[in-house]
């Protein structure tokens, strides 16, 4: 059994804990949250104990899940890492590059595993897209894009719009798009971007972005994202010298179709994949992967270095916007 302490008892914690409950080797022993009522609700559901501080229960854990707003990640991660515990940290790795670098270096020095929870790597449609792009079926990658628009923030309190915790879409949410591009199409070498904040009452909360990225192979990637659109849709795709493949669907996250056509095909092929975010098993696959890495002492396929690389691109997006120039990485 792998003993797990979950830090944070919000919505994403419920998603992770429900997937962990389906894994026979996972044993959730503690839930940490300053909101005792919220912590008790989650702990009761998973049969765990409640703690106010990670220091009070870190010795019980083999793995610590850090599922809190990103500004809190460094302190919690270092507490776990310094105690010799493996860490799963929700994306983005942090807000500050200094904090992210400290997390990565500390994990390396302590020889513990640090995985950033880029769950899209475990989605059916995105795996199909990557496999086709990397198999050579599409030829050399000329362009990759990630477009997702919709109403991103629900009504009521949300840490993303809390002035004490928010970091904006470019850091928090575009980390998904950046990682998907790096994972599928290769490294990013420079950035040009324009971002827009649609709510003047939330200073510093960017919620629209158009980003053009140069890839290391000479190709281009584009991110078009909005949290203020009144309509929702998403497409992610790759254009190559020999073919094109696309995952598309309604809303910000659901993948309904996988479409592709190569130069040897007369007609495009359309496959209904129904990769709904609400019913996707991506969190279970992600958590099974990490617990298997812990049990068998294997390196996770997503590392702290991937989180740091994505955060560097996010900062370059912001720098490019404010400086009105191309930012090299």
Q: Residue 10 is part of which domain span?
A: 2-119+283-302
pLDDT tier for residue 187 given thresholds of 50, 70 and 90: very high
96 and 194 housed in the same domain: no
CB 243 within 8 A of CB 261: yes
249 and 297 housed in the same domain: no
152, pLDDT greater than 80: no
60, with CB counted inside 10 A (0-12, 13-18, 19+), is: middle
**CA–CA distances in Å: residue 196 to residues 61, 206, 211, 244:** 42, 6, 12, 30
152 and 8 housed in the same domain: no
For the chain, how many structural domains are there in total? 2
Q: What is the pLDDT of residue 83?
A: 98
75 and 128 housed in the same domain: no
CATH number at residue 288: 3.40.50.720
pLDDT tier for residue 59 given thresholds of 50, 70 and 90: very high
pLDDT tier for residue 155 given thresholds of 50, 70 and 90: confident
208 and 255 housed in the same domain: yes
207 and 273 housed in the same domain: yes
**What does pTM read for this prediction?**
0.96
Angle between helices 73-82 and 97-110 (to 10 degrees): 10
77 and 161 housed in the same domain: no
106 and 23 housed in the same domain: yes
162 and 239 housed in the same domain: yes
127 and 114 housed in the same domain: no
Q: What is the pLDDT of residue 131?
A: 98
Q: Regarding predicted confidence, which is higher, 156 or 47?
A: 47
314, pLDDT greater than 90: yes
Omega of the bond leading into 175 within 30 degrees of 0 (cis): no
Report the range of poorest mean pLDDT among 161-170, 302-311, 314-323: 161-170
State how far the Cα of 236 lies from the Cα of 224, in Å rounded to an integer.
10
- Closest by CA to 20, choosing from 39, 41, 48, 40, is 48
pLDDT tier for residue 154 given thresholds of 50, 70 and 90: confident
Strand order in the sheet with 220-226: 269-275, 255-262, 243-250, 228-240, 141-151, 220-226, 208-215, 188-196, 327-328
State how far the Cα of 323 lies from the Cα of 314, in Å rounded to an integer.
14
CATH number at residue 150: 3.30.360.10
Q: With b meaning 16 or more CB within 10 Å and e meaning fewer, what string describes 283-300?
A: bbbbbbbbbebbeeeeeb
State how far the Cα of 59 lies from the Cα of 295, in Å rounded to an integer.
18
51 and 14 housed in the same domain: yes
Structure tokens at 173: 């949410």
21 and 112 housed in the same domain: yes
Render pLDDT for 283-294 as a digit per residue (tens, 0 to 9).
999 999 999 999
């Amino acid at each position: 059994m792998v003993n797990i302490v979950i830090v944070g008892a919000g919505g994403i914690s419920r998603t992770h804990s429900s997937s962990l409950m389906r894994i026979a080797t996972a044993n959730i022993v503690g839930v940490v949250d300053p909101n005792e009522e919220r912590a008790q609700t989650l702990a009761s559901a998973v049969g765990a104990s409640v703690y106010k501080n990670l220091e009070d229960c870190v010795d019980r854990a083999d793995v610590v899940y850090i599922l809190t707003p990103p500004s809190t990640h460094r302190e919690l991660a270092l507490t776990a890492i310094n105690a010799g515990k493996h860490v799963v940290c929700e994306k983005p790795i942090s807000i500050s590059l200094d904090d992210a670098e400290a997390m990565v270096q500390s994990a390396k020095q302590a020889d513990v595993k640090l995985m950033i929870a880029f769950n899209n790597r475990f989605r059916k449609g995105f795996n199909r897209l990557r496999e086709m792009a990397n198999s050579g079926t599409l030829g050399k990658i000329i362009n990759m894009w990630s477009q997702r628009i919709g109403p991103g923030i629900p009504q009521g309190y949300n840490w993303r719009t809390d002035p004490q915790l928010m970091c904006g879409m470019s850091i928090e949410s575009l980390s998904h798009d950046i990682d998907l591009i790096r994972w599928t199409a290769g490294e990013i070498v420079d950035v040009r971007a324009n971002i827009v904040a649609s709510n003047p009452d939330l200073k510093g909360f960017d919620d629209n972005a158009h980003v053009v990225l140069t890839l290391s192979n000479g190709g281009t990637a584009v991110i078009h994202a909005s949290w203020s659109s009144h309509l929702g849709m998403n497409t992610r795709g790759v254009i190559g010298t020999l073919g094109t493949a696309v995952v598309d669907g309604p809303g910000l996250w659901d993948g309904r179709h996988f479409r592709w056509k190569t130069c040897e095909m007369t007609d495009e092929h359309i496959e209904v994949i129904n990769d709904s975010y609400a019913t996707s098993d991506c969190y279970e696959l992600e958590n099974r992967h990490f617990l298997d890495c812990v049990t068998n002492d294997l390196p996770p396929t997503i590392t702290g270095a991937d989180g740091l690389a994505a955060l560097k691109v996010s900062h370059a997006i912001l720098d490019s916007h404010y400086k009105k120039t191309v930012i090299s990485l």
